[in-house]
Structure 1
Amino acid sequence: MPEFRIGTRRYPTKQAAGDAVRAVLYGYNVGNTVDRPEEHLLLLDLLDLHPEAAEKIGPGVEKFVIAPPLRGSYPGFAVVRTDGTSIDFSYLACLKPPAYRQQVSSAMRAEVEEDVNAFFASRVAAGTLVSDESGAELDFGDVHVSYFRGPSFAEIAVGFAASAGGWDAIGLTSSTDQGLGTFTDRDLAAQWRSHHAEHAALGLLSSQENLRRPRR
């Protein structure tokens, strides 16, 4: 079975990805907040795969809570937004085959993953492993590379897609149902990496600082 990706996380199968999400869902009681940083970040990336992600996210994600069953006997997830409103979302909908735009976005993340990792490595080499928000020293195992200082990844991607003639104009190699293809036009891939480098204002945060950031 093909590999499945949620954000930068790779799972050997779609079933394994679903198991990881269900471990979060059943690791809390109904009404509880998902307060472990890595699980919160997993749900943020999962929500990005929802076919109605923009509507679910709204002004930004404050937190996730375990919601009582809408029907049947199984709990679910709810998003509490930064404006205080909340809405439920189906994790199963997030694991369905994504729209082409989502596939291209996944490919874009894969194309610049090496550059993001290089940014982190450069900060380690320079001895500047500190939070760009608070100035606090960061533990090596508790660091997140974040877009918090400038446009979000999604905004950078939208700008590039528009300049390339739209999402459908960006061809991908044969992809699995979770959108792990790569750019067929390697010149266009290089242009994307240049566009990302020009517009991405990367910074370092601790997991807790990243947890508190509203998701855009």
Structure 2
Amino acid sequence: MAIPFVIPSRTFSSRTAAKNYIRDEILHAYPVGQRIPEGTHHTVLSDVLELHPNASEKIGPGVEYFYVEETWRLPGKEAVGKDQRAILVVRTDGEQRDWSYRHVIDSPTTAANVKSALAFALESGRLERRDADFSAGPVTCALTGQLIAQKHQADTRHLDPTWHELTSGFVEIHGGWDAIETHSGNGGIFVGRDIEDLELKDAWLSYYSTHANPVYVKNEQPERL
């Protein structure tokens, strides 16, 4: 049974579904060199990059934007096929870094598994909060100030504090990444990765409620009739 790939902004049915989405909707959809705008695609890439084993070095002081580049143009990659592409991140200090979304998704670190479990624990609450926030009408995009007319056009983001700051702060209190056990069903049918200790899971939900400041960013989806 496929195990969903969970990030703060959305849930994919499997790791393959997540990789296919990034490949088809981003990697081969944007022209080489074009800045990927704020919205769903930027959000998904930011969430996945957070799971990179060297996320701190890749992200640095923060993510400015992502763009697609031909892989053979990158240092040390001159021998690869001319049809191959890569996604680069440009940091707020102007530095840019190459990174592999496939490696992140296929070879999760302990920290990545914990972050996925923490995101999974919030999934039902995230949807309930979005429904409640949109029940009174349109919501303002935290980045552009534009009104988001319908809830399916809103992606959840953590800007201040960031998702990394939230998860790292919680984990530090509870002994570090290796101290938090997660599972994907323990042999049974289960959708997602969850926190093994139920008391610890409740502690995370309480921590998130106290420290998080989730906002909405408008994505590219059209309004529904």
TM-score bucket of the superposed structures, by smaller chain = 0.7 to 0.9
Percent identity, aligned pairs only, is 29
The one of 188, 195, 199 equivalent to 1:183 is 195
The one of 28, 38, 44 equivalent to 2:40 is 38
Pair 1:6–1:64, CA change in 2 (3 A): farther
Greater shift after overlay, 40-49 or 76-85? 40-49
Query: Cα deviation per residue 1:104-133 (whole Å; 9 max; x = unaligned)?
Result: 111001112222223222222344623456
Does residue 76 (structure 1) correspond to residue 78 (structure 2)? The answer is: no
- Residue 185 of structure 1: CA displacement? 1.4
Where do residues 57-206 of structure 1 align in structure 2 (5 Å cutoff)?
57-69=59-71, 70=77, 71-73=79-81, 74-127=84-137, 129-131=139-141, 136-140=146-150, 141-148=152-159, 150-174=160-184, 180-206=192-218
Aligned to 1:26: 28
Matched to 1:144, the amino acid is D
Which structure: greater strand fraction? 2
Query: Cα deviation per residue 1:87-119 (whole Å; 9 max; x = unaligned)?
Result: 211223222221111101110011122222232
Matched to 1:32, the amino acid is Q
Greater shift after overlay, 136-145 or 191-200? 136-145
Pair 1:3–1:43, CA change in 2 (3 A): same
Quick one: distance in 1 between partners of 2:108 and 2:197? Answer: 21
Query: Cα deviation per residue 1:140-188 (whole Å; 9 max; x = unaligned)?
Result: 142233333x312221211211222222222222469xx9421121111
Query: Cα deviation per residue 1:40-78 (whole Å; 9 max; x = unaligned)?
Result: 222222222322121111111111111122231112111
TM-score (norm 1): 0.81
Matched to 2:147, the amino acid is E
RMSD, aligned CA: 2.6
Contact 1:67 1:78 (C-alpha < 8 Å) held by counterparts? yes
Greater shift after overlay, 33-42 or 91-100? 33-42
Unaligned runs of 5+ in 2: 72-76, 221-225
Unaligned runs of 5+ in 1: 209-216
The one of 46, 50, 53 equivalent to 1:48 is 50
- Residue 36 of structure 1: CA displacement? 7.2
SS across alignment from 1:95: helix
Pair 1:94–1:80, CA change in 2 (3 A): same
Aligned length: 205
Does residue 17 (structure 1) correspond to residue 18 (structure 2)? The answer is: yes
